[in-house]
Structure 1
Amino acid sequence: MPFQDITPDIRAAAPELRGRLLANQEMAGLTWFRVGGPAQILFTPADEADLAYLLGKLPAEIPVTVVGLGSNLIVRDGGIPGVVIRLAGKAFGEIAREDGDRLRAGTAVPDVKVARAAADASLAGLAFYRGIPGCIGGALRMNAGAHGGETTDVLVEARGVTRKGEILTLSHADMGFSYRSSTAPADIIFTSALFQGRPGDQAAILAEMERVTSAREAAQPIKERTGGSTFKNPEGGKAWQLIDAAGCRGLRIGGAQVSEMHCNFLINTGGATAADIEGLGEEVRRRVKDNSGYELHWEIKRLGVAA
């Protein structure tokens, strides 16, 4: 069942809005799992000022959700009520080199492009982003990392817009990074980030990126419909080993399956629903808890309502 179309109300509240509003926009095509219901409203802002304008005018009772590339995301089958914001285009997709061996990137920039831009500029320290299947906005929110590097290692500051439409700059300390998380205010929608590199040998940086690529291709089901790493590694253990030990490798519910290649990945084998994928993840958590006593916590974000 579609949501109520509230675009006339939003346009009445924010008549100078320049971005695109789409009612009942399907989200499945915007997620790597290719599942999920519609966004009640999908908003693509023209730029940071347009985003701030909408948020400042939007009634407080309308929920706001932000999504990136959809790589680490399950949208539930009933869809997402309220306004879903997706940053895209030139305003949020540029990378620029700055003084002091730094790069500034919009939060719609894929992580891999930051790694490539750093290599082009002979800046070391950012090659690990080659192995992260997402965009910079998500990397900031979850302190994304791989292959020995994390966002906390290279971030100088992040810029964003609050739910009230205020534009803020957060220092590294303000972000409160820890393993796969941050304590940055939940209502901030990040718009750009400044990263610190260091002078390096371009050939060595490219070789490191190739090593990351080869390791990822050899160990992860990157050609499948997947959401990346499903669960955080618990303290003192590795999620994939605990899942394997609990007998979950290859486990299926509907069209969803625990990857045979890397069992901390769930895949849509074709025809899966969001409920299949999330239900499979919860079954894996239950079996791991029963088998080892470890409680796995989701790394993949789950948004919206059940059908």
Structure 2
Amino acid sequence: MIDRMPVLVICAAALLLVGCFGGKAKPAWVNGMSPDYSADQYLTGVGQSDRSAVAEDQAYAALARVFKTEVSAQAKDWESYLVVEQRGQSRDERRLTIDNLTKVSTDKVLENVRIADRWFDSKKQVHYALAVMQRSQAETAFMEKITELDRGIQADVDDAHRSADKLAKVRGLRRAAHNLVIRETYNADLRVVRPSGQGMASPYRVNELTMELEQFLATNLLFAIDVTGDQTQAAQRALSEGLIREGLQIVDRPATESVSSSASGGHAPELLLRGFVRVWPIDVRDPQFMYVRWCGDFEVVEIKGQRPRRFA
């Protein structure tokens, strides 16, 4: 009878050597297949790098790109809002605003992501990481956020429509439009995590709210600016740019002209932004630059009745 003990010892040693030097077998998720995290229940992202921590970051990024792509695809529907919100700014700056909105959603997305597995390819010296997001958990989080935003949007729209105060109307519509854009970023995320690809319908559309705001501003709350003191042209130019970026209409008027007689497209200004600017030189011995200190005091006055108004 042949002694089987040496054979068993050799086999056991061989298995031990494979375990020590070969590492665990290549998992299926490295190639995009994950039997433990089915596509109907999870979203996944795979990262790879020569460093473990970087591989994990890449896995997070791979999953986040899925959401960023969907948000960017919806951005064309928000262009009307961006034109009003970012007047006077370049297209690149409006693009930056979209990127900021995308970051809002990405941060929320990553709250629901975890690293589920790691693998090291000893032959190639490459680390792999698997990031996973449970669809049902993320869906609940997005729906809660959308519901919260919907309540705020409805309250702002109701306030804007009920108020007889024009400034309050503008504030309400602006807040509603801004929050509606944020709401739609979350809705884009919701469509990604739902296997059906369906989001939550909103009673309002971004272009409709911004059009209402645009039409109101076109014939209401026309501003005139009157600056006295030092560096009046520079101060007036800065104030005009700031108000235009807020979506407001500015009436160009010489300082000596009566405000009530000014007009823009047949409409007289309703509000006057007036103020006084002082500039003092600072004694700093610098061969290249001159330093100054400035101070400005401004108020918004309702032209009819000369009543001061708060504007925010």
TM range (shorter): under 0.3
Look at both structures and tell me which one has the larger radius of gyration over its CA atoms: 2
Higher strand share: 1
Q: TM-score, normalised by structure 1?
A: 0.24
Q: Which has the higher contact order (CA 8 A, sep 6+)?
A: 1
Answer 1 or 2: which has greater helix percent: 2
| TM-score (structure 2 length as normaliser) | 0.23
